Chains A and B, each alone.
Chain A
Amino acid sequence: MSGAVYDLVVNGASRRVEGAHGGDSLLHVLRDRLGLPGAKNACEQGECGSCSVLVDGVLVCACLELAEAAVGCQITTVEGLTPAGGEPGDAALAGDVLTDVQQAMVEAGGVQCGFCTPGFVVAIHDLLAHTPEPGPFDVREALAGNLCRCTGYGRILAAVEQVVTVRTATALTTPAASGASGGPPEASAPPEASAPPGDSA
């Protein structure tokens, strides 16, 4: 209940949080304290995926993260995804230029009311960072935690296919440039942040 003061690292920058309630979720703090409304607030129980963000490179629902416990973590929101050609954390560029996933969502008709779109965009970036050429079932399973109440799933799946096609073609023609094809800044992060230090056989 106290007005705790703490710092969160969001999209590469340290941000001071003041006046937040003790039990506030990361979603509330991002939206109401830090002016980042990209993550959407719908179910607040992890069901809909519209608040999807990356915490230390891992896709999570921001509504289920206690903000104060995320101190010291690298938090990436849809606002911090890097467009093709940009540097990670290049917020000015991110504000004006769409990522390839966002562009494909527009072109494929994956955006209807738009409410679920940011969550899908983050989840799709995460999927393609770990699985650059997913099969149809990989895509469906990876996006099973993101609900679209307009039920525009077919167009969203088409957008994913479009991104994969473009990225694959780009990688084939300009192998050296494949690293700058629009992945999120944490694309090089370990796929499983909770991987144990002492995995044994």
Chain B
Amino acid sequence: MTALVPDRLDDALAALAGDPPPTVLAGGTDLMVEVNYGLRRPDDVLSLRRVAELRGWRRDGDAVVLGAATTYATLLAPEPAALLPALAQAARTVGSPQIRNTGTVGGNLATASPAGDTLPVLVAHGASVELASVDGRREVTVADFLTGPKRTALAPGELIVAVRVPLLTGPAEFLKIGVRNAMVIAVANCALVVDRPTRSVRCALGSVGPVPMGDPAAEAWVADRVDWDGGSAVEAAVAAEFGARMAAASRPISDHRATADYRRHAVGVLARRALARCFPGGATTAAADGGGAAPEAA
């Protein structure tokens, strides 16, 4: 096993065109665990550590473009966090300072764990992934990029170079359930974003299906019930019904972290709570949110 550590993206893509292609190493928080435990023994590793073109973020019109090697810690910096608050909230729930200093948004996408914390946020935002190879570039939506548990649309020789996240105007929430507030893989998570100009609400659920789960009909249903011209409050009963609809849209499994029943219940609570936080002030919302009752029972 040899480590390739190129400085330039072109050199990285040329290396990826090899046969067999090297295994890509970004932050290492997933790959190195497998290597340490002897689960993987790659022939060659392509480290992205020094490829400056993959680092950092920039504003590009109505979007933020995140280099694939952007760390969770960078997403938490004041400027990106102000532009993409739900993504910053998600980044803050990932691992520990040590993990957030190394783990990257491109790595989260490429690993495509059903529990990946940035994935529901990116799907809710309608983000897209920019892929490059020696043959050229293409862009696919994150929703299309994630094809299954740990499966992506990445073709041989392709590298994630950036993520384009459209900016929205309105409140945004990310909520997560796990056994601790740190260093925890999500039992369930939920991203909910609001765009006032288009009067739209988008919600994606994580760790309750093979990929982030959504329900466009439930989003449209709740958008019709927001008092957009008034105080933008949502009635508690609407939030409860929304939570129930999102829970019904989930397809959780039982595993060592939680049962499917618990996940379905929990993610419904998260969706209801996220909606109530984005549209506060609805009648009896606070009481309903504080009760923690199942959306089905509310």
Contact = CB atoms under 8 A, between A and B. Distances in A.
A145 B97 contact: yes
A44 B33 contact: yes
Contacts of A198: 56, 58
Interface string B173-201: 00000000111000000000000000000
Interface stretch (B73-81, B202-210, B246-254): B73-81
B96 A49 contact: yes
B151 interface: no
A69 B102 CA distance: 13
B36 A60 contact: no
B196 to A, nearest CB: 22
Given A60-B98, A199-B57, A192 B32 contact: no
A186 interface: no
Interface string A41-64: 000111101001000001111011
B202 to A, nearest CB: 26
A175 interface: no
Given A44-B33, A45-B33, A69-B49, A61 B98 contact: yes
A141 B28 contact: no
B33 A194 contact: no
A161 B30 CA distance: 34
Nearest to B32: A64
A57 to B, nearest CB: 10
Contact of A196 (B25, B55, B183): B55
A25 B36 contact: yes
Interface residues of A, number: 43
A69 B47 contact: yes
Interface stretch (B1-9, B132-140, B211-219, B227-235): B1-9
B47 A59 contact: no
Interface in B17-54: 25, 27-29, 32-33, 35-37, 41-42, 45, 47, 49-50, 52
| Most chain B Cβ neighbours within 10 Å, of A25, A63, A69, A194 | A194
A176 interface: no
Nearest to B33: A45
B183 A47 contact: yes
Contact of B77 (A52, A64, A192): A192
Nearest to A45: B33
Interface in A166-201: 192, 194-201
Given A2-B1, A145-B96, A199 B79 contact: yes
B119 interface: no
Contact of A69 (B3, B73, B99, B183): B3
Nearest to A119: B98
A47 B182 CA distance: 10
A142 B25 contact: no
A47 B96 CA distance: 8
Interface in A68-108: 68-73
B247 to A, nearest CB: 30
B143 interface: no
B257 interface: no
A196 B29 contact: no
Contacts of A133: none
From B27, B33, B45, B182, residue with most partner A Cβ within 10 Å: B33
Contact of B42 (A4, A23, A65, A126): A23
A118 B59 CA distance: 40
A159 interface: no
A64 B33 contact: yes
B89 interface: no
A196 B58 contact: yes
B70 interface: yes
B101 A144 contact: no
A46 B99 contact: yes
Nearest first, the 4 A-B pairs at minimum CB distance are: A196-B56, A145-B96, A22-B1, A144-B182
29 contacts: A1-B41, A21-B1, A23-B45, A25-B35, A45-B37, A46-B99, A52-B98, A58-B102, A59-B97, A60-B102, A64-B98, A65-B28, A66-B3, A66-B32, A66-B35, A66-B47, A68-B3, A69-B5, A69-B45, A70-B49, A123-B98, A126-B97, A141-B97, A141-B182, A192-B74, A194-B56, A196-B56, A196-B74, A197-B56
Given A145-B99, A192-B74, 6 more contacts: A4-B3, A49-B98, A66-B3, A69-B25, A196-B55, A197-B56
